[in-house]
Structure 1
Amino acid sequence: MALSWNEIKDRAVRFSKEWKDTTNEEADAKPFLDAFFEVFGITRKKIGTFEHRVKKLSDADGYIDLLWKGTILVEMKSRGKNLDKAFQQAIDYTHGLKQNELPKYVLVCDFHIFRLYDTEEQTTVQFTLDELVLNVQSFGSILGYQKKTYKEQDPANIKAAELMGKLHDRLEEIGYEGHPLEVYLVRILFCLF
């Protein structure tokens, strides 16, 4: 059963408090990521693998810290390490993935700073561990939520609708009504578009 956003936020607050002093990639990355996914009600073992081996462009082996195929690639670093280098490392790993394994998101994290990159929209969200509670919805698509964007109506469409309404009313006033009127207006509309 999916968690509510309020429950996810409560879990994010507890997670942030529990992991606030964590710093070491080698010792803490795996339990940190297991606990991170639990914030969203996701059991990491069901969705992703640690140390996923890939061939880099140099033909050397590389190991992705965590890969949820088609969804997210995570590269962890010890606190204070360069996240720009971590991001480049993560992108280099994608060259060794099959098309269906390419992630929608790349997350680089040093236990304090989270940097989430959306590969489709090419946008980045960055926040600290303390700000996770304010940014949990950035991970909405891993929970199956989709972002919808609505745009304003084109002014030409609004004007055209007003004119069609006036034409309808005027034709009705002079006795042209019912089904023949509706068919006539649909045909005019069809010709316009």
Structure 2
Amino acid sequence: MVADLAAAREFAAQWAGKGYEKGECQKFWTLLLRDVLGYERMDSVLFEHRVAGGGFIDVWIRDASVMVEQKSLRVDLDAPEMRQGVLKTPLSQVWDYAEDLPLAEQPRFLVTCNFGEFRVYDRTRGGRSVLESAPTFAFSLAELGEHPEYLGFITDPLNSRLEKEKEVSSQAGELVGRIYSELLDQYLEPDAPETRHALNVLCVRLVFCLYCEDAGLFPKDAFYRYLQGVAPADVRPRLKLLFRALDTPVEDRDPYDTALREFPYVNGGLFAGDFEIPNFSPELLGLLLDEVSRAVDWSQISPTIFGGIFESTLNPETRRAGGMHYTDPANIHKVIDPLFLDDLKAELQAIDDAEGLTPRQRTNRYRAFHERLCSLRFLEALRAEWIQIGRTYALAA
């Protein structure tokens, strides 16, 4: 993905002195991304995406972790406008949209643009008050025509959401691998099949708790706080109490056990049954709390990538073969997108874009869509797809 200088000059000349926010935003950014920057993931670019807090994101380049607030030509990018009953600058608008998203979806780069001027804000460089005083980078359309690399962060693979997910998921997988090995050493019969099964169950339960405390399913840092300050010898019984509570509806629990009140009931059987839990050494407890729970933001981890790595961690044969492997999400989407996901996305987008609906009508449509999602079964469709693929290859051979 290399920027095209000739295309950049042509683009700058084409758009010089013109640009209307509502009518030309999508065309402007589509041409810029596709023809000038050579961006290859146009299917991940969303225009006029509705956010929960009200309003619409003008351009959201999800896989590049970029969000754009687009204004018409010559609109002052420092001037506040009335939005949702509040005066907001373009930066305030796009920042609010970013914070309306789940933490894992929030973009790193914010861009404000009025067709003639671009301002780029890197949220890793400081908070809102810091960046409001000066953008990370600013340039004109004419300058972009000579330096398309100014927007190179959009196509830089190191800034892509997928690369960041790969990095943090791999790091988390390595940490869970360390926990697995150290837990195995604590069991009385580490080579017994029952021990391996109990250890796998324990690791799955621990990872679930780690994810929940960062993803908002538990209160923030709930698992960390539950074990913080606990003596290593007491971790084993504390985990048994926690797992039993997670498998019990809140109204059926001991009302005097206040330490477990903030943990919700988890249905589905993940915490059903008692499995052997070994003692924890001080070093193992420190690894779990300080390096895995506190230091890792589990909400940033890709379930697709981490799932494969985690499976490798729990599979002794794969571990001995030296492998933490996963199926690249791009290859997964080659199968599932045309099979069912594209249609489902289009159906959801139609609800988002439907005009003239009352809030209640829109909510009812979302609810009906959600209920339909819960009823879908894909195994037979996938099986049929793979049979057809097999037949195609057989005929070709």
The TM-score range, normalised by the shorter chain, is 0.5 to 0.7
For residues 50 and 15 of structure 2, what CA distance do their matches in structure 1 show?
A: 27
Note the 1:58-73 alignment, pairs <5 A.
Answer: 61-69=54-62, 71-73=65-67
For residues 107 and 135 of structure 1, what CA distance do their matches in structure 2 show?
A: 17
For residues 8 and 123 of structure 2, what CA distance do their matches in structure 1 show?
A: 24
Contact 2:120 2:138 in 1 (8 A): yes
Task: Give the letter aligned to residue 61 of structure 2.
Answer: W
Contact 2:75 2:114 in 1 (8 A): yes
Task: Find the counterpart in structure 2 of residue 108 from structure 1.
Answer: 112
Task: Find the counterpart in structure 2 of residue 50 from structure 1.
Answer: 47
Deviation at 1:130, TM superposition (A): 0.2
Deviation at 1:143, TM superposition (A): 1.5
| TM-score, with structure 1 as normaliser | 0.65
| TM-score, with structure 2 as normaliser | 0.33
Identity of aligned residues (%): 29
Task: Find the counterpart in structure 2 of residue 125 from structure 1.
Answer: 137
Task: Find the counterpart in structure 2 of residue 77 from structure 1.
Answer: 71
- Per-residue CA distance 1:143-180 (angstroms, 9 max, x = gap): 22559xxxxxxxxxxxxxxxxxxxxxxxxxxxxxxxxx
For residues 91 and 18 of structure 2, what CA distance do their matches in structure 1 show?
A: 20
For residues 107 and 113 of structure 1, what CA distance do their matches in structure 2 show?
A: 10
Deviation at 1:27, TM superposition (A): 1.4
For residues 20 and 130 of structure 1, what CA distance do their matches in structure 2 show?
A: 8
Aligned residue for 2:100, secondary structure, equals coil
Note the 1:21-36 alignment, pairs <5 A.
Answer: 21-36=17-32
Task: Find the counterpart in structure 1 of residue 203 from structure 2.
Answer: none
Deviation at 1:135, TM superposition (A): 4.0
For residues 134 and 125 of structure 1, what CA distance do their matches in structure 2 show?
A: 16
Task: Give the letter aligned to residue 50 of structure 1.
Answer: F
Larger mean CA deviation between 90-99 and 79-88 belongs to 79-88
Cα 1:140/1:46, change in 2 over 3 Å: same
Runs (5+) with no aligned partner, structure 1: 148-193
Contact 1:34 1:43 in 2 (8 A): no
Deviation at 1:140, TM superposition (A): 2.4
Cα 1:79/1:73, change in 2 over 3 Å: same
Contact 1:67 1:73 in 2 (8 A): yes
Asked if 1:98 corresponds to 2:98, the answer is no
Structure with a larger share of its residues in helix: 2
Cα 1:44/1:129, change in 2 over 3 Å: farther
For residues 15 and 54 of structure 1, what CA distance do their matches in structure 2 show?
A: 30
Cα 1:33/1:139, change in 2 over 3 Å: same
Larger mean CA deviation between 35-44 and 64-73 belongs to 35-44
Task: Give the letter aligned to residue 68 of structure 1.
Answer: I
Question: Quick one: higher RCO (CA 8 Å, sep 6+), 1 or 2?
Answer: 1
- Per-residue CA distance 1:40-59 (angstroms, 9 max, x = gap): 11256322110111122xxx
Structure 1 runs of 4+ with >6 Å offset = none
Contact 1:113 1:129 in 2 (8 A): yes
What root-mean-square deviation, in Å, do the aligned CA atoms of Structure 1 and Structure 2 show? 2.1
- Per-residue CA distance 1:110-169 (angstroms, 9 max, x = gap): 00011111111345211110000344323223222559xxxxxxxxxxxxxxxxxxxxxx
For residues 129 and 44 of structure 1, what CA distance do their matches in structure 2 show?
A: 23
Figure out how many residues of one structure are paired with residues of the other and give that number.
139
Structure with a larger share of its residues in strand: 1
Cα 1:45/1:145, change in 2 over 3 Å: closer
For residues 38 and 158 of structure 2, what CA distance do their matches in structure 1 show?
A: 18
